[in-house]
Structure 1
Amino acid sequence: MANKTMRCSYCRTQIVVPPYAHAIQCAICQTIIHFQPNDQTHNSFRKRFKNMLHTASSNIKASIKSYSGSGISDSVNFPQQARPSPVVPVSVHGRKRAVLCGISYYGQRYKLDGTVNDVKSMRYFLTQRLGFPSESILTLTEEESDPSLIPTGNNIRKALKWLVQGCQSGDSLVFHYSGHGSQQLDFNRDEVDGYDEIIWPVDYQTEGTILDDEINATIVRPLPRGATLHAIIDACHSGTILDLPFVCRINREGYYKWEDHRLPYTAYKGTNGGYAISISACDDNQSSGDTTVGFKVKVAWILQKLHTDNEKWSNNIKFVQAFTGKATGALTYSFLKTLEQEPGVTYGHLLMAMHKIIGAARGELGLSSNVSHLSQKPQLSSSQKFDIHSKPFTLLSI
């Protein structure tokens, strides 16, 4: 079923509406328009999608059976996945704890550079500047020797559960993710734009991705009163990756407004009294056509998704190195650089400073504003509205 078009009720801009969506946000005036979806169309789409998955699964199984039945592969032994050891026990949680996840996707088509650097930089900042105990930080990368700390889907889920397990008032929690992110169709109709946001574990090709609904249910909704969670998400399509109820829109002059992303007749996405805040690399509606993956500016992904030429390839490499001379995430770098240089800034000042740092890097490369795949704008979302220009930023309990 093809998308349909409609006019924004406020500015009359033409909007493309997915057939399954029950609300949409105007990209020009940011107005959220609610409407009744066609349930018959939505159910028909789900049925077709399930049939496609069933057909694909059957074809794969048939191919494997045919391949293993040939004389070539009779002796092939498929490696058994190592059983991961338990994550850090609850006894060493502490009042400050963090999960830092950097995924490079070594040996895969969409390999990333700089994600491990992001994690190392964040770990140093937490331990050396904010007093987070080293034993209360779980670091998941492909460079870890412990199988339970490889960033597979199963290990990431365990780490997130560990992060909030036994959480109490006064606890300060941090979730930092540096890796691939994208979108998929929203089947439970709790997204204003009709799409769910997802992150990619290292084994996403076989075990699938992790949905924003699951992240919200795991680390947001259990958060008790008096506890604070900050998520720093350096990935594409990450504006509402925690599915928090409120999204802050700010312009270059500092004027801002909070958007209410709660929808009627959908599951509660807030906390259990605690404070959850997310700072992400870009907005949800920035797709492969106008952005890079997570604004980490990775050449393989850009070539695949944007079909860029050699000149843009060169510009993207330079954009990464414009920060520190080594591969790093633009969001992670601008976030840490601002906090190192200006301790005690407000949330509003932090956002504007990050925009300025990234804009300056683009300016050094002579990239104009029409180079849309480098025009990232970090986003802020929260479980509660607050005055971003008066509240001091802190990763500690609010």
Structure 2
Amino acid sequence: MFMLVNCSNCRTPLQLPPGAQSIRCAICQAITKIADPRAVPPPSSSQYAPPPASNSPFPPPSPYSQAPPGPPPNAHGRKKAVICGISYRYSRHELKGCINDAKCMRYLLINKFKFPEASILMLTEEETDPYRLPTKYNLRMALYWLVQGCQPGDSLLFHYSGHGSRQRNYNGDEVDGYDETLCPLDFETQGMIVDDEINATIVKPIPHGVKLHAIIDACHSGTVLDLPFLCRMNRSGQYVWEDHRPRSGVWKGTSGGEVISFSGCDDDQTSADTSALSRITSTGAMTFCFIQAIERGQGATYGSILNSMRSTIRSTGSGSDLGNGAVTSLITMLLTGGSASGGLRQEPQLTSCQPFDVYTRPFSL
């Protein structure tokens, strides 16, 4: 059983192997010596964390210190998922569709892909458990929980709907010179989660026989997992795999497993938070298009999913850039005369730890 400790320098959570007395951080390379397993701090008592239930003097047990839920591993492996939807309610960054995205994704995983309900960890502002609020600490812990104890045959999934951003890269491992980031609920005080950390947490540890899918509905999310290869596809469906491996030679792939990510847009684009796509309620454009591709029977291969998502995005809305819910919803633009032929200026992306034929590789979770 691995123990979680924080790096003594950058505070990144680290998995300490049994019996080890020190560990080197994959992010800052600092060595942390272990004196007491209680070194892991509790979640920050910020304005976002509600107090424990009044009828108990103790906080609820953390889901991250327990064995992964769900049935024990079998010949077909175990399915686990982390779903994070952040609305940034009551702030100037508020989004309308992200919690709906999380609920829709949970429904899809349970009813279409047979994920056990107990094996899905939800992080939204609607959760009453303080460990399940989408704060930076909790999101970090959830990502470690997702890959903890994974075994050959396991299928893992990470879905995120919320704000994404980018910041200048200074170590030379980004082709475009920028690190992509995810913005947890408390990012204004606690900071963002950078793609280097995401890669070190849920990409590099994946062993042979385990597969992880990420579905990231956020701005600037094209390479937010820092995967080495990006599928550059044109409007006719032709594609080439771009090599995004750092010139430094640092390996950004897995430990033998398979990791594939669908993201809402390219690294230099923004993603729409819109109610026009679903006609019913606000959802993220990318999440809606992904679920629609599956439900319409266009989810046989990775290429068919990507083509379906891009086609839906192009055929809906106006040609104006939309920040992920920050400016206006697409429905408003349609009502005020926006063109229906231009499509949103966002192109869903596919990245992978290894190149493959997107039109023959079957998609499965």
Total equivalences in the alignment: 289
Query: 1:344, CA displacement in angstroms?
Result: 4.8
Structure 2: which amino acid aligns with 1:86? S
CA gap of 1:343–1:129, structure 2 versus 1, over 3 A, is farther
- Any conservation in 2 of the 1:369–1:375 contact (CA below 8 Å)? no
SS of 1:160's equivalent? helix
Quick one: percent identity of the two aligned structures? 53
Partner of 2:21: none
Partner of 2:245: 262
Partner of 2:11: none
Partner of 1:379: 349
Matches of 1:371 and 1:252 in 2, distance apart?
13
Structure 2: which amino acid aligns with 1:195? Y
- Any conservation in 2 of the 1:85–1:147 contact (CA below 8 Å)? no
CA gap of 1:279–1:322, structure 2 versus 1, over 3 A, is closer
Q: TM-score normalized by structure 2?
A: 0.75
Matches within 5 A, 1:94-133: 94=71, 95-133=78-116
Partner of 2:33: none
Query: 1:154, CA displacement in angstroms?
Result: 0.1
1:325 is matched with which residue: 271, 280, 295? 280
> Which piece of structure 1 moves more, 261-270 or 159-168?
261-270
**CA-to-aligned-CA distance 1:108-134 (integer Å, 9 cap, x gap):** 111011111101110001011111000
2:62 is matched with which residue: 86, 90, 106? 86
Q: Which has the higher helix share?
A: 1
2:209 is matched with which residue: 208, 217, 226? 226
**CA-to-aligned-CA distance 1:175-202 (integer Å, 9 cap, x gap):** 0000000100102210011100001000
- Where does the alignment leave 5 or more consecutive residues of structure 2 unmatched? 1-45, 52-58, 72-77, 319-330
**CA-to-aligned-CA distance 1:275-311 (integer Å, 9 cap, x gap):** 000000000022xxxx4xx3225xxxxxxxxxxxxxx
Is 1:341 aligned with 2:296?
yes
> Which piece of structure 1 moves more, 120-129 or 334-343?
334-343
Query: 1:359, CA displacement in angstroms?
Result: 2.1
1:248 is matched with which residue: 221, 226, 231? 231
- Any conservation in 1 of the 2:83–2:123 contact (CA below 8 Å)? yes
Matches within 5 A, 1:1-398: 82=51, 85-87=61-63, 89-94=66-71, 95-286=78-269, 291=270, 294-297=271-274, 320-342=275-297, 344-362=299-317, 365=334, 367-368=338-339, 374-395=344-365
Query: 1:336, CA displacement in angstroms?
Result: 0.5
Query: 1:381, CA displacement in angstroms?
Result: 0.2
- Where does the alignment leave 5 or more consecutive residues of structure 1 unmatched? 1-77, 298-319
Matches of 2:361 and 2:313 in 1, distance apart?
23
Q: TM-score normalized by structure 1?
A: 0.69
- Any conservation in 2 of the 1:164–1:219 contact (CA below 8 Å)? yes
**CA-to-aligned-CA distance 1:210-235 (integer Å, 9 cap, x gap):** 00000000000000001000000000
Structure 1: which amino acid aligns with 2:113? L
Query: 1:376, CA displacement in angstroms?
Result: 1.2
Structure number with larger C-alpha Rg: 1
Structure 2: which amino acid aligns with 1:347? Y
